[in-house]
Amino acid sequence: MGKKIIKVVLAIVIVIIAVMLIKALSFTSRQIKTEPAGNFAVDTKNVSQHLSGAIKIPTISFENEAEIKGTEFLNFHKYLERTYPRLHKSLHREIVNNYSLLYTWAGKDKNLKPFILMAHMDVVPVEAASKDQWTHNAFAGDIADGYIWGRGALDNKSDLMGIMEAIEGLLAQGFQPQRTLYIVSGHDEERGGNQGAVKIAALLKARGITPDYVLDEGMVITDGMMPGVSSRVGLIGIAEKGFISVELIAKGDGGHSSMPSRETTVGILCKAITKLESNQMPARLDGPAKHLFDYVGREMSFTNKMIFANLWLTEGLLKSQLQKVKTTNAMIRTTTAPTMLEGSSRDNVLPNVARAVVNFRLLPGDTPDSVLAHIRKTVNDPRVEVKPMLKQIQGASPVASINSKSFFAIQKSIRQVFPDVVVAPSLAVVASDSRHFALLTNDVYRFAPMVLQATDISRLHGINERVAVENYVQMIKFYMQLITNSQMEK
Ligand SMILES: [Zn+2]
């Protein structure tokens, strides 16, 4: 009898291993083979100086609206006009809501759906306290040691100037598009985009424009950041997380701290926060994250392929591993982040009201309502009021297709200009202006052709922002290639 059981168990184990092996062996690369990149001439010195000049104009989105200088944005418009004369002759420019820009490059074939390239023109301020830590002045636009330095070098003037440079270059070569192309450049992305991108999206909607796809910033080419993959990885964001901030308010007896109740408002509030931290929204390996691991898993070692090709068996184990690292954790769940706390203003005063703010970043599939329900159920304390902050609610974006011709065009363009780069769909964990374009099409992609290493991440919105000259030239070539590849019929 015992022998029989051992035999059955052994047979099951053999079958499982056989299935895993077969699945891993057929888990072959999703990377496409492409013809070489087009022969695009880019004058490195010229284009670097153009970007440097753009950085010198401080188009800053200050937190305090009164500090924002409209004249700098108008200067920036004039600078674009001077720098790209061909573009300004051939494309139709509209100024939307005083400072945002919408360009139309009319295609010859009106039956083809247009496409939209986006890049905002505003930058975040430089903190006064950090000024000394910049190797090069943030608004000097220095070109040194193979880099173009300054605020906006990455976020997002290199994209905007890169797109403009690509069009100027294509026009010089006599290129005329079949398909209409819109360039959208908002002036308040760093403040939420309500004055710029929102207005332009509404304008295009009113005109009945249904673009084939939209491409904006959001994800990049990562260098050495994807565990298990030795190549650089170009991540195309096919969706963007949403957010909701919720106030937790505990009310009770205030008074002198010499005679506190057993539970104070601060204590009650902290218990609620602890409950939320220890009972997070469940991790889910689906949607964009699943696509990501499906693409990158195929580029890994055989052992890793065994894991990623056999999610039917390994999903639980994989999720528990992904949850341990904050970057991958953010890809597979709606995150919980307590960010603000308020009690009394004196050490010997018990507050009547204690208040906290918790910020949640929504995975596609979770909604502000489902998160609120989760919070109420988890806190489960009538003494704690749960109050959503109405201005801080944004659902996750729709998920763009990975089987569309436009996804293919982006993927192909990356592979042509960066032949060693592995391309994968992904989830953008930060917000961009492109979310406002969901009303025009589902196929909104988030990718900028900039190469970032882990140490570069802190340069975004931080100090010593810079882009490598070599990378900037590749960015321009990427946009030339993408515009060319996007002409295919549909
Ligand atoms: Zn940006």
CA of 466 to the centre of ligand 1 (A): 14
The DSSP result for 127-147, as a single string, is PGGGGGG-SS-TTT--EETTE
The secondary element (H helix, E strand) that includes residue 244 is strand 242-251
267 is written with which tokens? Answer: 């204590």
Residue pair 467/54 in contact (Cβ under 8 Å)? The answer is no
Q: Which residue's structure tokens are 């010593």?
A: 464
Residue 488 banded pLDDT, cuts 50, 70, 90? confident
Distance between CA atoms of residues 300 and 415, nearest Å? 18
Select from 140, 104, 143, 99 the least CA-distant residue to 121: 99
Residue 1 banded pLDDT, cuts 50, 70, 90? low
Orientation of helix 157-172 relative to helix 469-485, angle to 10°: 60
CA of 156 to the centre of ligand 1 (A): 5
pLDDT above 80: residue 345: yes
In the chain, the domains with their CATH numbers are 44-237+397-485 (3.40.630.10), 239-394 (3.30.70.360)
Alpha helices in 386-461 (DSSP H): 405-417
The alpha carbon of residue 350 and the mean position of all alpha carbons in its chain are separated, in whole angstroms, by 42
pLDDT above 80: residue 71: yes
Termini Cα distance of the chain: 66
Distance between CA atoms of residues 199 and 195, nearest Å? 6
Distance between CA atoms of residues 247 and 198, nearest Å? 27
Determine the pLDDT at residue 63: 87
pLDDT above 80: residue 458: yes
406-425 average pLDDT score = 97
CA of 457 to the centre of ligand 1 (A): 13
Identify the three-state secondary structure at position 419: coil
Distances (CA, A) of 264 to 84, 176, 256, 275, 350: 64, 70, 12, 17, 8
Condensed to tens digits (0 to 9), the pLDDT of residues 298-339 reads 999 999 999 999 999 999 999 999 999 888 899 999 999 999
Residue pair 166/413 in contact (Cβ under 8 Å)? The answer is no
Backbone angles phi, psi at 181, to 5 degrees: -120, 130
Determine the pLDDT at residue 255: 85
Determine the residue type at 30: R
CA of 13 to the centre of ligand 1 (A): 51
CA of 189 to the centre of ligand 1 (A): 7
Distances (CA, A) of 311 to 20, 178, 289, 307, 371: 10, 43, 13, 7, 27
- Percent helix, strand and coil across the chain, each rounded to 5? 40, 20, 40
148 is written with which tokens? Answer: 């173009």
Average pLDDT, the chain: 95
The Cα diameter of the chain in Å comes to 89
CA of 196 to the centre of ligand 1 (A): 13
Q: Cα torsion at 224, 228, 231, 237 (round to 10°)?
A: -80
Distance between CA atoms of residues 93 and 103, nearest Å? 4
CA of 5 to the centre of ligand 1 (A): 61
Distance between CA atoms of residues 125 and 309, nearest Å? 45
Residue pair 382/242 in contact (Cβ under 8 Å)? The answer is no
Backbone angles phi, psi at 414, to 5 degrees: -60, -50
pLDDT above 80: residue 489: no
Residue pair 413/480 in contact (Cβ under 8 Å)? The answer is no
233-259 average pLDDT score = 94
CA of 463 to the centre of ligand 1 (A): 15
Orientation of helix 70-83 relative to helix 44-56, angle to 10°: 160
Determine the residue type at 121: M
CA of 430 to the centre of ligand 1 (A): 9
Determine the pLDDT at residue 79: 98
Determine the pLDDT at residue 392: 85
61-85 average pLDDT score = 96
CA of 98 to the centre of ligand 1 (A): 20
Exposed/middle/buried for residue 111 (C-beta within 10 Å: 0-12, 13-18, 19+): exposed
CA of 217 to the centre of ligand 1 (A): 6
The DSSP result for 394-451, as a single string, is EPPPPPPPSSSHHHHHHHHHHHHHSTT-EEEEEEE-S--GGGGGGGT-S-EEE----E
CA of 186 to the centre of ligand 1 (A): 10
Annotated catalytic residues are 122, 189
Distance between CA atoms of residues 425 and 291, nearest Å? 6
CA of 240 to the centre of ligand 1 (A): 14
CA of 124 to the centre of ligand 1 (A): 9
Q: What percent of the chain has pLDDT over 70?
A: 99
The DSSP code for 108 is S
Residue pair 156/119 in contact (Cβ under 8 Å)? The answer is yes
Determine the pLDDT at residue 490: 61
Distance between CA atoms of residues 97 and 197, nearest Å? 10
Identify the three-state secondary structure at position 358: strand
Condensed to tens digits (0 to 9), the pLDDT of residues 186-196 reads 999 999 999 99
Condensed to tens digits (0 to 9), the pLDDT of residues 14-44 reads 999 999 999 999 999 999 999 999 999 999 9
Cis peptide before 194 (omega within 30 of 0): no
Distance between CA atoms of residues 141 and 53, nearest Å? 6
CA of 384 to the centre of ligand 1 (A): 37
Determine the residue type at 177: P
